[in-house]
Structure 1
């Protein structure tokens, strides 16, 4: 413990100066950004003590559960059905290339062994297993990248300066100690970045807890970001703060929305040049909710993935595992359907970027080199105008077949003349430029 704290102190001292400079991503980081954009599809996993309550991950603050009572859940945390390899194999079969898992959510419970306290899955539960270690090992065995969700706020620690959530958990606001809490976070982040192999990204959440403070709250993000980039230069940093990205961040997140949309009211920020990621739920909630059976259909999910790719973004699709450690059967059904579709059409998604034809109500385009994939998701006619501009279109075929699609030059583009009105989940026409 003392050795770890000494390392943290030394690192922070050296990073303070670095963090004041303009962020210059390393070659490893830039390469990781490209790889991230190529991957296109990830699975989000919200799992913790809150899963046992069956009413989502915000139950501690929503029900004003006392911070001394809530940890008692850990005494009966024993997810006997948890099998990291089973999770990862199902996720890989779905066509996802990475996972993002909650290492520590807002309730403060850690799914990994940490020297900072016994409030973790190894030292504070009868389960006595390091869930993040098992997930990291399963990811490495199966060729899936590991991203780590980490909460910037904590409803249970008294040293965390209280923001606009978690106000009813009984903590003494007078005991707030930012220096202590910041040291705690950086100790945990150092553990996660030194004990679990290569980490694809750290996915922060909670900045918004102090977005209404009369005096702007200083999270000391530049120093923290510099520490992460020093420990693992290729590790990308994302922060779900609903703002235009800050210096030191490598991914821009859009919560419950695609870039450029703001249906959920959390994504009104401008779109940066960073890699983009849209996070969405497979049903209605993030953490496990025992009454939530409103799962999106395979068609909705596949079209969501396609529209994200057409907007040059990844889709991070969330699943809330059950209290016993199994992935919900309804979620597994959807994963299987997505995997089957990607197995056939993944070439039009993986490794592509948003195409020269912008998003429309009828669909989107993705592109790799001189191949432009027109994804027709919602077309009510057997002909469709595609605004390809001055680009010369050499050929048009139905993707995956040699079936030619007739087209005519029309104004500032072409008109595809289809045999019938498309009814597929995604009718894909491959154009060669």
Structure 2
């Protein structure tokens, strides 16, 4: 039984991939889109924000599904969602203080609740909450003032909409939705909401999709939706957290809680690394949305080292926070973001605008490169001498980054040996700057 089910699943995944890929085969990115891809490739660090009416319950963004809360009960939550402490300026300034170049915020998560003033639904923060304000508009305006690009996370999965039918692997009969619906009508609704986001909030960085994995065998009309986005904003970048190799029409590739090429989560057994700019996303604790009981906050060292590893894999790091229902960001998260920003203020040259270096990731760390400069990021030490493989380029000079302290090196048939002087180790990441001949 198990082998047959695995084969069937693999067949459906391949069918889904091939069908959507063929539908997108004519996509040619615009010049501004190509320029924005280059910008995205060099940005390296972004802020992910999971925030919505689910924050009220303090049990993560999947609380509706995990606790199987029917729609009639879940719809009571907006009355308690009054984020009077929300301050778009402080959010954007915190992102900049952390060294982040862009923000991705949940416009609509799987619960279907819109965080803007949607004209095609009354299930919104403006119409259903006592707060009554469009937080996305405030955030978009502030991002524009501060020179930070804003992306909208948009869930294709919807546990609330009656036309999301047939239902997928989540949001079962417990929701109370009718056992029928018009799938194309739902996709029209989704496109209408995307049109609002792409026409009412100025120039945006792009759309960050999630949820296709809920219905792998469905016709998601990707060609139509992606074409709509690129028509309304040719420079907008499209990415999708579908856990498979990108389809044509997408502009960057994302990896959830994993570095490119890894599958520690089990989410992406079919995913291959493509040629598009890459991004990996991870949480600052264990939760995406606000979770009152989640105190497993990652250390500043863990966050810095993940950022460094991502750059070594030629990927951006999208670091998530889940603001509290009142609109404030948890102080533990503020502190860590500021500390990562302090590290980047000193070492950002080795991250921003770089590409993955000449060596693939090793147990000791990674390399990044900018022109004829290679940065060797040593994250794990065993002694003061490190031997690395040669990559065919001769070294002119070597020093501890950010100092004038030279690093002795030798090149031979065994590779390149770097000798770090006493006191040369740095907190979190010892960086050796190599100038190539």
Into which bin does the TM-score normalised by the smaller protein fall?
Answer: over 0.9
Output the TM-score relative to the length of structure 1. 0.93
Cα shift at 1:27: 0.9
Is the contact made by 1:156 and 1:171 (CA closer than 8 Å) also made in structure 2? no
Show CA shifts across 1:144-172 (max 9, x none): 11010000011011111111101043334
Q: CA deviation at 1:130?
A: 0.2
**Number of equivalent positions:** 413
Give the Cα separation in 2 of the matches to 1:267 and 1:422: 36
TM-superposition CA deviations, 1:206-246 (whole Å, max 9, x none): 001013xxxx2101111100110111111000100000111
Structure 2's unaligned 5+ residue stretches are: 1-21
Instruction: Find out whether 1:295 has 2:300 as its counterpart.
Output: no
Q: Equivalents in 2 of 1:416, 1:88: separation in Å?
A: 41
Verify the 8 A CA contact 1:64 1:168 in the aligned structure 2.
Answer: no
Q: Which residue of 1 aligns with 2:57?
A: 53
Q: CA deviation at 1:403?
A: 1.3
Correspondence for 2:15? none
Could you tell me which runs of 5 or more consecutive residues in structure 1 were left unpaired when the two chains were aligned. 1-17
CA deviation vs aligned residue, 1:280-301 (integer Å, no higher than 9, x gap)? 0000000000000100000000
Deviation at 1:357? 1.6
Q: Out of 213, 224, 228, which is 1:208 matched to?
A: 213
Q: Offset of 1:126 from its aligned partner?
A: 1.0
3-state DSSP of counterpart to 2:47: strand
Shift of 1:424: 2.5
Shift of 1:414: 1.0
TM-score, length of structure 2 as denominator length:
0.92
Q: Deviation digits for residues 353-391 of structure 1, max 9, x if unmatched?
A: 001121101010101100100001002111001223210
CA distance in 2, matches of 1:422, 1:20: 49
- Does residue 223 (structure 1) correspond to residue 227 (structure 2)? The answer is no
Where does 1:16-415 land on structure 2 (aligned, <5 Å)?
A: 21-161=25-165, 162-211=167-216, 216-268=217-269, 269-411=271-413, 413-415=415-417
Asked whether the 8 Å contact 2:252–2:278 carries over to 1, the reply is yes
- In structure 1, C-alpha distance between the alignment counterparts of 2:414 and 2:30, rounded to whole Å: 41
Distance in 1 separating the partners of 2:368 and 2:182: 49
| 1:125 to partner: Cα distance | 1.2
More deviation in 22-31 or 49-58? 22-31
Q: Alignment RMSD, CA only? A: 1.5
Question: Could you tell me whether the CA contact under 8 Å between 2:25 and 2:248 is conserved in 1?
Answer: no
Question: Cα gap change, 1:273/1:412 in structure 2, threshold over 3 Å: closer, same or farther?
Answer: farther
Contact 1:88-1:142 within 8 A present in 2 as well: yes
SS at match of 2:150: strand
Note the C-alpha offset of 1:176: 1.4
Report if the CA contact (8 A) 1:377-1:424 is conserved.
Answer: no
- Do the aligned residues in 2 keep the contact of 1:99 with 1:144 (CA within 8 Å)? yes
CA contact (8 A) 1:259 1:267 kept: no
Quote the residue 2:431 is aligned against. Answer: 428
Check conservation: 2:384, 2:420, Cα contact below 8 A: yes
Provide the C-alpha distance between the structure 1 equivalents of 2:266 and 2:24, rounded to a whole number of angstroms: 32
3-state DSSP of counterpart to 2:387:
strand
CA–CA distance in structure 2, aligned partners of residues 267 and 341 of structure 1? 32
Q: How far does residue 71 in structure 1 lie from its aligned partner after superposition?
A: 1.3
d(CA) in 2 for partners of 1:283 and 1:289?
9
